[in-house]
Structure 1
Amino acid sequence: MPTIKINDLHFHYKENEPIFKGLNFVLDSRSTAIIGQNGAGKTTFVKLLKGLLRPGKGSIYFNGKNIADMTVAQIAKHIGLVFQNPNDQIFKNKVIDEVMFGPLNIGMNNDEALKHSLAALKLVGLSNTVNCNPYDMGLSERKLIAIASILAMDTDVVIFDEPTIAQDYNAKEKIKSIIHQLNIKGKLVLTIIHDMDFVAECFERTIVFANGAILLDGPTADVFSHKDELKMAYLEPPHVTQLCNSLGYDKVFLSVDSFVNYIKN
């Protein structure tokens, strides 16, 4: 299983305005959501993981190797990032060329890249779009193409940046299924996100960033039980959790199904 160890991580863009003030934690096999208000450092953290930024102090270790000793290209073979806006990621005029671009650039030969790309398109439900122009397709489909482009690279770590933006119900269900399948394959799945309902339904662990530090870190149900701390971070629990609390239940429910099953039993 891939692991990422964060050791005494400090970072700032401007002197005396720290973004991170000594983060220490380990990202393990659990699917993990990183949440926090705008400006809490979520996107900055992902850029540090990808080697696009370098820590001011401290280290990030991927499977025991310091990321500072790796090039951005080397990191890309292990850590994949699905952009929040697919228009910032897509630049080819044919879907299959877009999805194959990543695999080819991390060293796969053409046959291997094609095999991985067709499998990734099948996984996201877009097998019939191979020869389409991505910009003739809707935003939701372009998001799925962006996801396929990263899945085709077969990286150990897959990071989703706001995966539910511009997605309808069916697309969200498809992304949930993809995350579940990546977990089964032993991938480390991370997301930075504002959609608390999606966090509750998909992620085993949740980390709350606030004021340059980690405010909460643990199983998702446990994190969403800390209403006061969440309020400090300007976050709210998932809607079903809030509803059940208003009905007088102290237990944290992360989905409608879990609440219904509890009532039935």
Structure 2
Amino acid sequence: MAIEFKEVSFKYPNGYLANEKLNLTIHEGEKVAIVGQNGAGKTTAVKLMNGLHKPSEGTVLIDGVDTKTKTTAQIAKAVGYVFQNPDDQIFNPDVYSEVAYMLKKLKLPEKDLKGRVKWALELTDTKKYRKKNPLDIPYPIRKFVTIAAVLATDPKYIILDEPTAGQDTHGIKILEKIMDEMTERGTAVITITHDMGFVVNNFQRVIAMAHKNIIADGTPQDIFWNEKVLREARICRPQIGEISAGLQLEKQTLYMNEIVREIKRYVQ
């Protein structure tokens, strides 16, 4: 089961071509980071995954089903989307109601509904805020409320748009825990981010976009040690990689433990 793009292009009503002939497959249980400068087509591509956009050309398949044959609401049962700005999603008077909203729409039995809400609130560390108005809690925590609301629907694929924006170290650790648990459950996690350190520490597959298309798809090593990709996608090598390059280590690395190991080996 997978999300598949086959020669997918998307043109906005004003004629702007945002994606051109994308070919891509993302399987259940994968963690995939999508990187590239603003305007590269990243957000348009993920909105094609959950039906917010339908291809102008080509085909998007969700578990073999053409998105053109389904409504956005139908697709959202399989592909959950967490917007970059939580205020674009929140509209209920308290956190519990926000997380339970879609489950009520799906007419989930009360016992199952309560169980899913409890699990989502605990996983996102938002249980203590369940009776509060979401707009009265800090912005980083509101982001976790929207993540909880999507997780509660138990999607096969979840899209996180700039999840680390505004998060401190504690928030990023919660994000990492969420992503690990979801992939262990077989859910694919697809993330758009400009945080290259977060990418290196959490993803083994990175898709770089530029010129309205995918220019590279591989491991962090494949992406961040390819000068042409860095230049075209206008992304920076993570700080650890820059340190590694500056030290001119025999092994090019993106990870602190490997730098320490290489330095120890050199000193000895």
Classify the TM-score, shorter chain: over 0.9
Give the % identical residues.
34
State yes or no: 1:25 paired with 2:24: yes
Task: Report how far residue 255 of structure 1 moved.
Answer: 2.9
Change (3 A) 1:14 1:130: closer
Name the SS for the 1:183 alignment partner: helix
Which residue is equivalent to 2:230? 230
Which residue is equivalent to 2:212? 212
User: Matched residues in 2 for 1:112 and 1:168: separation?
Assistant: 33
Letter of the 2:8 counterpart: L
Letter of the 2:17 counterpart: P
Task: Report how far residue 130 of structure 1 moved.
Answer: 1.7
Which residue is equivalent to 2:248? 248
Task: Report how far residue 212 of structure 1 moved.
Answer: 1.8
User: Matched residues in 2 for 1:99 and 1:115: separation?
Assistant: 12
Which residue is equivalent to 2:142? 142
- Kindly indicate whether the alpha-carbon contact (under 8 Å) linking 2:200 and 2:254 is maintained by their aligned counterparts in 1: yes
Task: Report how far residue 264 of structure 1 moved.
Answer: 5.0
- Kindly indicate whether the alpha-carbon contact (under 8 Å) linking 2:82 and 2:150 is maintained by their aligned counterparts in 1: yes
Which residue is equivalent to 1:95? 95
Change (3 A) 1:241 1:106: farther
Letter of the 1:114 counterpart: K
Task: Report how far residue 55 of structure 1 moved.
Answer: 0.7
User: Matched residues in 2 for 1:15 and 1:84: separation?
Assistant: 24
Q: Which moved more, 1:123-132 or 1:103-112?
A: 103-112
Letter of the 1:66 counterpart: D
- Kindly indicate whether the alpha-carbon contact (under 8 Å) linking 2:5 and 2:60 is maintained by their aligned counterparts in 1: yes
1:69-95: CA deviation from partner (whole Å, max 9, x where unpaired): 111111011000111011111111111
User: Matched residues in 2 for 1:111 and 1:156: separation?
Assistant: 22
Task: Report how far residue 17 of structure 1 moved.
Answer: 4.2
Matches within 5 A, 1:10-89: 10-13=9-12, 17-28=16-27, 29-89=29-89
Which residue is equivalent to 2:3? 4
Task: Report how far residue 176 of structure 1 moved.
Answer: 1.0
- Kindly indicate whether the alpha-carbon contact (under 8 Å) linking 2:251 and 2:262 is maintained by their aligned counterparts in 1: no
User: Matched residues in 1 for 2:44 and 2:2: separation?
Assistant: 19
Letter of the 1:25 counterpart: L
- Kindly indicate whether the alpha-carbon contact (under 8 Å) linking 2:82 and 2:146 is maintained by their aligned counterparts in 1: yes
Letter of the 1:71 counterpart: T
Task: Report how far residue 262 of structure 1 moved.
Answer: 4.7
- Which residues of structure 2 form unaligned runs of 5+? none
Which residue is equivalent to 1:202? 202
State yes or no: 1:164 paired with 2:164: yes
User: Matched residues in 2 for 1:104 and 1:220: separation?
Assistant: 40
Change (3 A) 1:62 1:249: same
User: Matched residues in 1 for 2:5 and 2:177: separation?
Assistant: 29
Name the SS for the 2:12 alignment partner: strand
User: Matched residues in 2 for 1:258 and 1:183: separation?
Assistant: 25
Change (3 A) 1:110 1:212: same
User: Matched residues in 2 for 1:163 and 1:40: separation?
Assistant: 18
TM-score scaled by length of structure 1? 0.94
Letter of the 1:150 counterpart: V
TM-score scaled by length of structure 2? 0.93
- Which residues of structure 1 form unaligned runs of 5+? none
Name the SS for the 1:81 alignment partner: strand
Task: Report how far residue 199 of structure 1 moved.
Answer: 0.8
User: Matched residues in 1 for 2:14 and 2:131: separation?
Assistant: 49
1:154-176: CA deviation from partner (whole Å, max 9, x where unpaired): 10001100000111111011101
Task: Report how far residue 204 of structure 1 moved.
Answer: 1.4
Matches within 5 A, 1:113-132: 113-132=113-132
User: Matched residues in 1 for 2:89 and 2:159: separation?
Assistant: 14
- Kindly indicate whether the alpha-carbon contact (under 8 Å) linking 2:249 and 2:262 is maintained by their aligned counterparts in 1: no
Which residue is equivalent to 1:151? 151
Name the SS for the 1:51 alignment partner: coil
User: Matched residues in 2 for 1:35 and 1:16: separation?
Assistant: 24
CA RMSD of aligned residues (A): 1.7
